[in-house]
């Protein structure tokens, strides 16, 4: 009887949800005529096609998403597909007139979703998101392309997530900011430790410019290789999951524009979404070039006079031709790339302690102490105190891994700090 009631509730929900109703009959996917990328299209939305829901009332009582409160976004409208059908849910964004040349803002005065963050003393931030049905992010193979056009209102930072899909710690396909550039994350859907076997591609010197439309395209191949493009230029590449034996991409259960999977690691995305397309397959360079060219034509305001993407004056010099493909710490495209795998909690052993690894360890300790603090004998420790008390790297590693407590009991926080520090220092983690 309980099963029958649950099935009836699910059917009633589907009948009242135009998104589910439309998506249920929308396969198989096919290319969209006129698109720069000619692969089968799983999702196509843009800010010129928005349908707001009438009569959506703000919540009667204060509601904040936290680690311990289920995230139940307030749906205020839909972004529509080229046929005018609902294709993605607009969540926690107040109904307003959207200028298609400026995009749908994911933060600012119209964003109303309140999230309590893990860091900054549990600070409350306000976020708007786009919710995407899982069917639209589960391709027929590991090969997938996410092509976005965005307009940043502030320089992208480490906490800004442009796109995320996954299932817990597995099946990730994420595009986000990093401390020095952009980051793309993919993880397998199988294995005992998908996050530990995941791959992070970090661009050291390539960041999207602020204030104009930017083309961002991320691709994975059927073999698991990763590539990230900004304004048509290859910002970074990595062998990715091709180095993980027997990897699989299974079902993805969530997908968002504007936030990550963890409620308490969601931060405002200081950007507006112009267009989003998800393709079944891996776009080639000519299609990425065409996506960039279309971006310049569709959103000419603020575009540079010359077609090539902007490059910083201090971009790293090219590596020699015999540099290992996708496995060095800095690729020929000025990108820090890193794969994780190994025996300990942080994806690798730290036996020899090369200089870069020591610097990464100390940076992680310093950031932990600055953010969370740690006291011994009533005194708050600094990095200098730790260096004096634990002069050899092995003892400092034990201090970081074993002695410093997991914030809020979350054992992933120190792991992420260590991995981020390793990437910044170009160290194997």
The domains found in the chain, sorted by start residue, are: 14-298 (2.60.120.200), 347-425 (no CATH)
**Residues listed for the chain:** 429
Residue-level pLDDT at 26:
56
Contact 396, 386 (CB under 8 A): yes
Taking each helix axis as running N to C, give the angle between helix 355-371 and helix 412-425, from 0 to 180 degrees, rounded to the nearest 10.
Answer: 130
Round to whole Å and give the CA distance between 118 and 66: 9
Structure tokens at 67: 């680690």
Residue corresponding to tokens 């590449």: 237
pLDDT in tens, the chain (429 residues): 656 665 665 555 545 566 666 565 556 789 999 999 999 999 999 999 999 999 888 776 677 877 766 567 899 999 999 999 999 999 999 999 999 999 999 999 999 888 888 776 788 889 999 999 888 998 999 999 999 999 999 998 888 899 999 998 899 999 999 877 899 999 999 988 898 899 999 887 778 999 999 999 999 999 999 999 999 999 999 999 999 999 999 989 999 999 988 888 888 999 999 999 999 999 999 999 999 999 999 999 989 875 444 443 433 334 334 433 433 333 333 333 333 333 333 333 334 567 888 888 888 899 889 888 898 888 899 998 888 888 888 888 888 888 888 876 666 778 778 877 877 777 765
3-state secondary structure of 162: strand
Residue 134, Cβ density class (10 Å: 0-12 exposed, 13-18 middle, ≥19 buried): middle
Alpha-carbon distance of 420 to 200, in angstroms, equals 10
Measure the CA dihedral 227/160/112/165, to 10°.
Answer: 30
> Which pLDDT belongs to residue 285?
96
- pLDDT in the model for residue 305: 76
User: 333: which residues sit within 8 A by CB, 6+ positions away?
Assistant: 203, 206, 233, 234, 235, 236, 237
Nearest to 289 by CA among 264, 307, 313, 302: 307
- Secondary structure E strands in 239-303: 254-257, 271-280
Q: pLDDT at position 316, please?
A: 36
Give the span between the Cα atoms of 179 and 95, in whole angstroms. 33
> Is the CB of residue 413 less than 8 Å from the CB of residue 345?
no
pLDDT at 72: 74
Instruction: Tell how far CA 90 is from the center of its chain.
Output: 18
Tokens 């969209």 -> residue = 32
Burial 256-286 (b: 16+ CB within 10 A, else e): bbbbbbbbbbbbbbbbbbbbbbbbbbbbeee
């Amino acid at each position: 009887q309980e099963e029958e009631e649950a099935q009836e509730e699910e059917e009633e929900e589907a009948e009242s949800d135009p998104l589910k109703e439309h998506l249920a009959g929308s396969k198989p996917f096919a290319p969209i005529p006129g698109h720069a990328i000619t692969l089968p299209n799983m999702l196509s939305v843009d800010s010129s096609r928005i349908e707001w829901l009438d009569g959506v009332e703000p919540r009667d009582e204060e509601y904040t998403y936290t680690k311990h409160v289920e995230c139940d976004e307030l749906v205020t409208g839909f972004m529509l597909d080229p046929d005018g059908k609902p294709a993605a849910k607009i969540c926690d964004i107040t109904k307003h007139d959207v200028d298609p040349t400026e995009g749908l803002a994911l933060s600012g005065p119209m964003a109303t979703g309140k999230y309590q963050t893990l860091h900054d003393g549990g600070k409350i931030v306000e976020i708007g998101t786009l919710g995407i049905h899982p069917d639209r992010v589960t391709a027929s193979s590991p090969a997938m392309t996410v092509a976005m056009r965005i307009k940043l209102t502030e320089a992208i930072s480490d906490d800004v997530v442009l796109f995320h899909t996954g299932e817990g710690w597995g099946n990730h396909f994420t595009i986000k900011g990093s401390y020095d550039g952009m980051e793309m994350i993919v993880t397998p859907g199988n294995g005992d430790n998908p996050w530990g076997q995941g791959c992070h591609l970090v661009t050291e010197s390539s960041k999207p410019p602020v204030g104009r439309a930017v083309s961002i395209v991320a691709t994975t191949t059927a073999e698991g290789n990763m590539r990230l493009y900004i304004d048509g230029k290859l910002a970074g590449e990595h062998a990715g999951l091709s180095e993980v034996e027997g990897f699989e991409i299974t079902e993805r259960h969530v997908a968002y524009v504007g936030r990550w999977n963890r409620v308490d690691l969601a931060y405002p995305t200081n950007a507006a979404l112009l267009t989003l397309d998800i393709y079944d397959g891996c776009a080639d360079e000519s299609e990425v070039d065409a996506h960039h060219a279309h971006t310049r034509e569709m959103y000419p305001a603020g575009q540079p006079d010359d077609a090539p993407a902007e490059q910083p004056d201090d971009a790293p010099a090219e590596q020699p031709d015999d540099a290992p493909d996708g496995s060095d710490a800095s690729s020929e495209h000025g990108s820090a790339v890193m794969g994780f795998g190994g025996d300990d909690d942080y994806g690798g052993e730290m036996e020899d302690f090369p200089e870069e690894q020591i610097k990464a360890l100390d940076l992680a300790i310093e950031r932990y102490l600055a953010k969370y603090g740690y006291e011994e004998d009533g005194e708050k420790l600094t990095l200098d105190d730790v260096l004096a008390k634990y002069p050899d790297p092995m003892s400092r590693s034990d201090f970081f891994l074993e002695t410093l407590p997991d914030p809020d009991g979350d054992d992933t926080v120190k792991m992420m700090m260590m991995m981020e520090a390793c990437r910044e220092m170009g160290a194997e983690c």
